[in-house]
Structure 1
C-alpha cells in the first residue's frame, strides 16, 4: 500500500505475534480504526476477505457531506458530526476531498419550498462553523435565469429559482487507501484476500482469530487482545459467533455513470424525485457525470455482489430527465453502473431512505462491532470503537485530534497544476517518491478521464493488486469511467503493469475473463424487461 509495501505476511509471523487488535474489514470503517489505533502505538492487524474497499467503500455516493436531509428527520447529531468532519477532511486533504457546489431547483408546488430549504441551510452551515471565507461562499438563492446559467439545460416544470450551497466529494476507494497508507506508516499490517474463518474464545472472551488466505486456502490462528468487527453489511455474520442478534438492515444504493459530454454539469444538481419525493443527485465526478442514488431494502444474499435492477435504472434516468427535459437521457447513454449495500442499523422506519445513518458500537465478549455510520464520520466512529476496545487491550486510548494525513511534499513545479493536484490527491505524503521516476508519457491523462497513466504502474507495484478488477475498479476507476470497462486500453495497461505484476500471458487471459464476467454482471445496466416501468419501492 505504500513505497515500503509489506507484501503478504507469512503465517508464521502472524501467529508468532500477540496483536493488541485485529480489525476485520478493509473498508473506510476498518481503515479508520487501524489508523487511529496504530497512531496510539497499538500493534494492529487488519484483514479483508475480498479486496480493500471492495464493498460499500468503493460503491458509495462519493460525497463527503453532512447529510442535509437528516435535518428533516430530526437527526441533528449525525449532521453535526458529519459537517464538522467534512470541514476537517477538506482542510487536511483538499485535493482528495474537493469542494462541490450544489444546486436545488425551487419549483412551484414542490417540496421543500424555498424558505424551509434555506432555513435548513442556515442550520447546516452554522453547524459546520463556516465563517470568514467559507461563509462568503455559503448558500444563496439564484433566480431562474441565474440557475439556468449555472446549470445549462435545467428546466424542471415550474422552475422559479434555485438554492445554491456548498458540500464536498471524493473518490471513496482512494480515501480508503490514503487512510490505510497512514495506518501502515504507523506500524499497522493490512492484508487483503484474508478472511476471518472463525473467532477463538478463552474463558468466554475473544482471544484469537482463525485466518484463511483466500488465495491459497491456508489457515492459521492469530492471538489478539481484542477484535473490531468492521465488516459493514456483513457484521451480523461475525456476531453470530458470540451469540449476537441481527441488528442490521441492508440497504442497496445504486448509481449510473454517463459521459460528461452527454450530461455536462458543473454544479451538483440535487432534487426530490417527482415520483416519490426521495433525494436524488447528479454531479461531475472523475471526468464523467455520476447519478444516484436509490435507497432500497436489499433482501438478496450478501454472498452475491450487488447489482442495479432495471427498475432502478429507469428511476434514476427519470430523475435526470425531469430536471433536464432536453437531455433525453436513455439507458444507451450509460457507461457503467454500480450498486453497494449499506450497513444501516435497523430501526422502526418503514421507508428505507428515512433509516438512521448514526452508528452503533457493541462489545460482545471482546468482539467490538462498529456498524452503521457514514463515509464522512469514519474517524469519530473509529474512536468510539477503540475507546470500548481499550479495556480489553489493556492500553489507554486517548482520542487523537491531530491530522489524519501526513503533509504532502512539494512536487516538480514544471509539472502542470492538474498533474500535481492529481498526485497529491492519490498519494499524499508518498506522492513525490512514487512519481520521482515518472516519464513524460506517464504524466498524461487517459483520454476521457482525469486518471494519469502513471497510476497504473504505481498500483501494480505498490498497492497489493491481486486481480485485474482490483486494478481497474478500485485502484483506478477506469472500469467505471470508460466504455466497455476500459478494455480498449488493455494492451497499454498490460505493458505498464506486467513488469510489476509478472503474471504472464496465461494469467492475463484468465484475469481478463474474470474481469469481463464481473463488469458484465455487476457494472453494466441489465437488459430492460418488456414494459419496464420506473418504480421505486421499499
Structure 2
C-alpha cells in the first residue's frame, strides 16, 4: 500500500465506497480504498439485483428518492450496457378495485415522467386476463382480472462493484481487499489516517490521509475511534435461486404475499430465476455472514406456491439461497421494517466523512453527496461535482467467428477496458457458457489471473456467481474449475484442497437450504 500523501482514504469495498473512490479519483484526488473482507462481500453482492426507482417509495410519497432513483437508473442503462439491462415486470390484478388500478397506472405515468424519457414501446400497459397470461402463463388464473406491465432494470451487483473499482483504478486510485482498519488515527482532535492490517501478510501499516471516508454501510458503527454515528436498523433481505426451467419466466412477476400483502418478485437473472425478498430485523450481529432462516425460506416458497400453483414447486427445486443486510436508518418508531426510509445520510467530523443508507441504484448520487462533504474539508480542492457518465463508452471486443454479439456485449459491460483481454486469455472451449448460467469458462480464468482473488468463495460467489447458479455450489464442476484456476492463482495442491473444503462448508451453511430451526416451529 502506497502512502503517497493520500487525499482520501475510503473504508468499505461495497458499491458506495467504490462509487466514492471513482468520483474522487476522476476529479484528481489521490485516493485509496480498503475493504476488510472481499470487494462486495457484504450488502453489495447480496442485493435483489434490481436497478430501480422503487414504485413502493412513490406510493409512500417519497418523491425525491423516487425521482433520484429513476434518473440514476436511466444513467446506468445508458452508460453500462451489457451490465445493467431492462427488465419487464408483470403485476397481476386479482379483482382489485378499478380505483386502485387507476391509481397504479397514474403512479406509473409519474414514474415514467420522472425518468425524463419515454421508450419506443410503452413502459406501462393494462392487459386483460388473456393477454396477461401470454406474458406469465404459469400464474394462478382463479380470479385474474388482468394485469399491468412496466419496465425497470437489473444487474449483477458484485460485477457492478468490480467494474466501478476498475474504473477508479484507471484514474490512478488504489483498491485493496482483505485490509482491515484497526483504528482511526487522530492529531489535535482531527482524524488524520488509519492503522491498517493486511489479512494476507498479517502486517500492519499506518496510512495518513487528509480525509477518511467511512463507507461501510451496515457496519458504519464498527470503526474504532470515530464519533457517534446515527443509529442504524440492520434489515435482512433473503432470496431464493431456482433453475430457469423449473420456474420459467419471460417477465419478472410481482405479487403480493398471501399472508401479509408484502411485495414479492421473481425474475430471470443470469440464467436462473431469482426470488425475493424478505425485510426483517437482523438480530444475529454483523460479524458473521447473513443467511436465510427457515422461516424466511418458507415465507418465500409460500408466495411462489400461491402464485404458481400448477408448477408444484418443492423445496428441493431451490438451487441456492442468500441473504444480505441492508444499512437502513433507524427512525426510532420500531414500526414495520419495510416502512423505514431508504434515504442515505452523510455526517462528518474533522478529518472524517461517513455515509450510510441508500440503495444500489443511487450509488453515484450518494458518492457525489459524500464528496461535497469532503470538499468542505479540503479548501484547496476545487472540483465540479456535477454528475458524469458512470463509465466511458467501451467498444465491444472481437471474438472468434460464431461467437454471438450479445455474448461479447455482455463481456464489455462486465469487464470494460479488460473485455478483450478476457477473450484473448480464453483457451479452446473456454468461451462456451457453463450449463445453466450465462457465464463462460473464460471468466473464471480471467478472475483467477487478474481480479484479486484470495479465497475460493471470492471466485465462485462474487467474481462469478456460479455458487448461486449451480446445484451444491458447483461441486460437480470443481475439478474443471481447479484445472483452469489453480495454475492462474499459483496455489499448491494443499492450498486448493483447503480452500475447496472451506468453500463447500460455507456454501452448505450459508447458501444451501436452511434446516429446521426449533424456535420457529410454532410459526406458520
1:381 and 2:369 are equivalent in the alignment:
no
1:274 and 2:262 are equivalent in the alignment:
no
Q: Which residue is equivalent to 1:217?
A: 202
Task: After TM superposition, list the pairs within 5 Å mapping 1:88-99 onto structure 2.
Answer: 88-99=75-86
1:103 and 2:81 are equivalent in the alignment:
no
Task: After TM superposition, list the pairs within 5 Å mapping 1:225-264 onto structure 2.
Answer: 225-238=210-223, 241-264=225-248
Q: Which residue is equivalent to 1:26?
A: 13
Per-residue CA deviations over 1:468-505 (Å, capped at 9, x if unaligned) read 00000000000000001012111111111122101011
Local SS of the residue matching 2:32: strand
Q: Aligned partners of 1:35, 1:500: CA distance in 2, in Å?
A: 28
RMSD: 1.8
How far residue 236 of structure 1 moved from its aligned partner, in angstroms, is 1.4
1:398 and 2:407 are equivalent in the alignment:
no
Per-residue CA deviations over 1:330-374 (Å, capped at 9, x if unaligned) read 211110000000001111360101110010000123221111001
How far residue 425 of structure 1 moved from its aligned partner, in angstroms, is 2.2
On the 8 A contact 1:207/1:223 being kept in 2, the answer is yes
Task: After TM superposition, list the pairs within 5 Å mapping 1:79-478 onto structure 2.
Answer: 79-109=66-96, 113-131=100-118, 134=119, 136-155=121-140, 157-238=142-223, 241-347=225-331, 348=333, 350-393=335-378, 394-412=380-398, 414=401, 415-478=403-466
For structure 2, the residue ranges without an aligned partner over 5 or more in a row are none
Q: Aligned partners of 1:489, 1:263: CA distance in 2, in Å?
A: 23
Q: Which residue is equivalent to 1:491?
A: 479
Q: 1:297 to 1:319 in 2, by over 3 A?
A: same
Per-residue CA deviations over 1:427-455 (Å, capped at 9, x if unaligned) read 12221133224334011001111000000
How far residue 422 of structure 1 moved from its aligned partner, in angstroms, is 2.4
Q: Aligned partners of 1:446, 1:487: CA distance in 2, in Å?
A: 13
On the 8 A contact 2:221/2:229 being kept in 1, the answer is yes
Q: Aligned partners of 2:66, 2:42: CA distance in 1, in Å?
A: 24
TM-score scaled by structure 2? Answer: 0.96
On the 8 A contact 2:81/2:409 being kept in 1, the answer is no
For structure 1, the residue ranges without an aligned partner over 5 or more in a row are 1-8
How many residue pairs align between the two structures?
520
How far residue 412 of structure 1 moved from its aligned partner, in angstroms, is 2.2
* Structure 1 residue ranges (4+ consecutive) displaced by more than 4 angstroms after TM superposition: 109-112, 529-536
Local SS of the residue matching 1:249: coil
Q: 2:49 aligns with which of 62, 80, 102?
A: 62
Q: 1:534 to 1:423 in 2, by over 3 A?
A: farther
Per-residue CA deviations over 1:364-418 (Å, capped at 9, x if unaligned) read 2322111100100000100000110112234123214332212222322632123
Local SS of the residue matching 2:327: strand
Q: Aligned partners of 1:60, 1:463: CA distance in 2, in Å?
A: 21
Q: 1:56 to 1:191 in 2, by over 3 A?
A: same
Local SS of the residue matching 2:441: coil
Q: 1:533 to 1:124 in 2, by over 3 A?
A: farther
TM-score scaled by structure 1? Answer: 0.94
Greater shift, 45-54 or 68-77, is seen at 68-77
Q: Which residue is equivalent to 2:509?
A: 521
On the 8 A contact 1:287/1:449 being kept in 2, the answer is yes
